[in-house]
Amino acid sequence: MSILIYAESAEGKFKKVAFELASYGKKVAESLGTTVTAVTINAGDVSELSKYGVDKVLKVSNDQLKNFSAKAYADVIKQAAQKESVKVVLLSSTTDSLYLAPLVAVSLNAGYASNVVGLPVSTSPFQVKRHAFSNKAFAISEITTEVKVLGLAKNSYGISESQSALTEEDFSPSIGENDFGVKTESVDKTAGKVTIADADVVVSGGRGLKGPENWHLIEDLASAFGAATACSKPVSDLGWRPHTEHVGQTGKPVAANLYVAVGISGAIQHIAGINSSKVKLVINADADAPFFKVADYGVVGDAFEILPKLTQKIKEFKAQNS
């Protein structure tokens, strides 16, 4: 009996969440006295997974799976789980895996716990701690089914190395036309930038920037940090920034180590979407902005004066400590 993880990749390279999931899976496997198997889809070189405790990789190479298809990918994971007779399937909380997890759970007749934020509280009975109520509370959930599917909240566990002897095996699951009821017509990709999903630091701007012509202040600070840029919903609605940068409950969720909010008042939907970030820095001219109530650090002042100085200080600090 092994633990199965789905190690996500893009353009042949593993995403950061794959290593976090492997690290988490290794600890769960140790508590259950078993091993970790990963299933990959068109991932290329898989040897890096051995650094994080993966014992075996089922490598799927199939041109039909070049573009993400929830039903087809879920079928691959199901067949991998059945092949390895696993009792615990681990997925991340990326956009793709949030589609996959319920489909995998149904196909395996398994209980599913999403937004898991730590190692199992107990393995007998099997209980996990989860975010609840838009990350405002925690819940302890018990899964009683024989097979269990867990969705690990992003950036909730971290990455830790645990070298293992890796076995690689080519895996060719059965995939039919029924798996492709939804087909991808085109894919738009952002190139040359840190993605919001993989970023440790996210710098986000709101209407307080007053216009798209001032967005270079956000980009300059993000560049100094090596961070991703993001925005509030009104900013994307106004067309200042693309919708791919809209974060919040109705946009992309953010679980960064540092989230910097500039000129964002802090609507409840925005805060709910970024609340999993570990440290929140708010810069706003309005001392009564709701965002300050949830901020770890707050600066009341003019962003047009603060951001250039902060950017310069970050550059100086990095130059002195490089």
Bridge partners of 149, per DSSP, are 89, 112
Structural element, H or E, at residue 38? strand 35-41
pLDDT, tens digit (0-9, with 9 covering 90-100), for 239-258? 999 988 999 888 888 889 99
| Across 292-304, average pLDDT | 96
Q: What pLDDT does residue 192 have?
A: 55
Between CA 261 and CA 293 the distance in angstroms is: 13
Tokens of 222: 């993000």
The backbone torsions φ and ψ at residue 200, rounded to the nearest 5 degrees and listed phi first, read: -80, -30
Three-class SS state of 163: coil
Pair of tokens at residue 313: 């200080």
Residue with tokens 């001032």: 214
**pTM of the entire structure?**
0.82
Closest CA to 117 of 107, 127, 108: 127
Mean pLDDT of 188-202: 75
pLDDT in tens, 171-185: 999 988 888 878 777
Does residue 322 sit in helix, strand or coil? Answer: coil
* Triad 15, 20, 26: Cα angle to 5°: 130
